[in-house]
A = this chain, B = another copy of it.
């Protein structure tokens, strides 16, 4: 396959995702706005399935989910450090004044992508969206007008984690004052990117699914009670300076000190397991350790789960960090904020292990890796080869012909499956071939066709998406066969 083919295929995935109602650039009728995407009907179904699988996966660890606000007052981000350091270096075009983020592809040495003008450094650009809470006059707290206005400043959260940290004492009490415990949150987060240009990869509004596990560093970190469930799992690991990934068992990686501790190793393994269980091909996954100089100032050890995209190369889809006591200690420096826990070794501030999933990037990775194209005679067949459990529609039901007796039987079969909580669609428009192609394109694993034989012996044709094999199944057995 040449470069041309590859380019073509990339565009076809994106085109299919748009055309079939997975992902749409937002506000398009108003000219659009970079960095904002909407999920259409099928994209939303897919996203819900991923989120539900994620919840189930971590509830099995005994973790509870919470839901905190997306707006928070200035003080929270003063304490967390975001107000000071959540910025990107920017450059500005001397000619057209456009502003760009400095990254690997754009340094001050190159020309303006808009007009070709020269670029100059433009300082640090703050990445939090700012707003103002209330009428701007903060009642009852005293101080000058300037202070009152400062107090009314609010920001959209750049991660969901802070909402968990500031509720730490309540959560500890909910867990009956015992460590360790884990808290989940799925929700919107926001980064006011300077110049986002990469579809679902660099969004200004996006969905994070975050886990914060609070541990006693002395008692827990090298003693995860379920470590043996994952210790033999082989991971593809890239350490700083290495040219390529090396396969190592979790056990090896931890005992040789590559992964900082057992608790972090356990959660890296679980991330790997989750990504596999939603259908991402393992050959396109690796874990890359942050170098000392790129590691966020708070992290003790930090790994990115990366997906090999045809379009963007290796891209981060999950970050897994041992954040030490950085976050809780940062908040504990504020007056009246206590983050201590009484343990056998005294009053400590717990450490935090954090797997943080970028849901939009995972959905992009799923679409790209599920896309499959083949030549059937003169036609191209395009398929999204989703695993059955994450496919937006699980079964489509068709009457072979648009005749009343077939339609009413097809509707009855459709209702039977719907009542069994199967995601099912009814379609009677166009030829059977056209209906199959449509369902292939949206990744529906099975199509059920009602024909005249059905009216005689109560059997239907079940067609499988990937093999296109067809079998006759008796209607009463249909539910079980499909599951």
Contacts and interface: CB of A to CB of B under 8 A. Distances in A.
B97 A137 contact: yes
Interface stretch (A71-79, A211-219, A309-317): A71-79
Contacts of A137: 97-99
B133 A131 contact: no
A16 to B, nearest CB: 14
A69 B130 contact: no
Given A134-B34, A137-B99, A39 B66 contact: yes
Contact of A65 (B35, B45, B192): B45
B167 A24 contact: yes
Contact of A44 (B35, B65, B134, B188): B65
Given A96-B139, A174-B21, A76 B30 contact: yes
B132 A129 contact: yes
Nearest to A33: B73
Nearest to A165: B29
Given A190-B71, A194-B135, A41 B26 contact: no
A222 interface: no
A132 B130 contact: yes
A385 B120 CA distance: 65
A134 B154 CA distance: 17
Contacts of A295: none
Interface in A204-251: 204-205
A170 B21 contact: yes
A143 to B, nearest CB: 13
A482 interface: no
Nearest to A40: B66
Contacts of A66: 38-41, 43-44
Which interface class (under 10, 10 to 19, 20 to 34, 35 or more) fits A? 35 or more
Residue in A66, A154, A195, A418 with the greatest tally of chain B CB atoms within 10 Å: A66
Contact of A163 (B38, B114, B336): B38
Interface string A59-70: 010001111111
A320 interface: no
Interface string A72-91: 11011001000000000010
A131 B195 CA distance: 17
Given A29-B166, A38-B68, 12 more contacts: A26-B68, A27-B69, A29-B331, A34-B134, A38-B69, A41-B66, A45-B65, A70-B188, A71-B204, A99-B134, A129-B131, A134-B194
Interface of A: 21, 24, 26-27, 29-31, 33-41, 43-45, 47-48, 55-56, 60, 64-73, 75-76, 79, 90, 96-99, 114, 125, 129-135, 137, 139-140, 154, 156, 163, 166-167, 169-171, 174, 176, 183, 188, 190, 192-195, 204-205, 331, 334, 336-337, 418, 421, 429
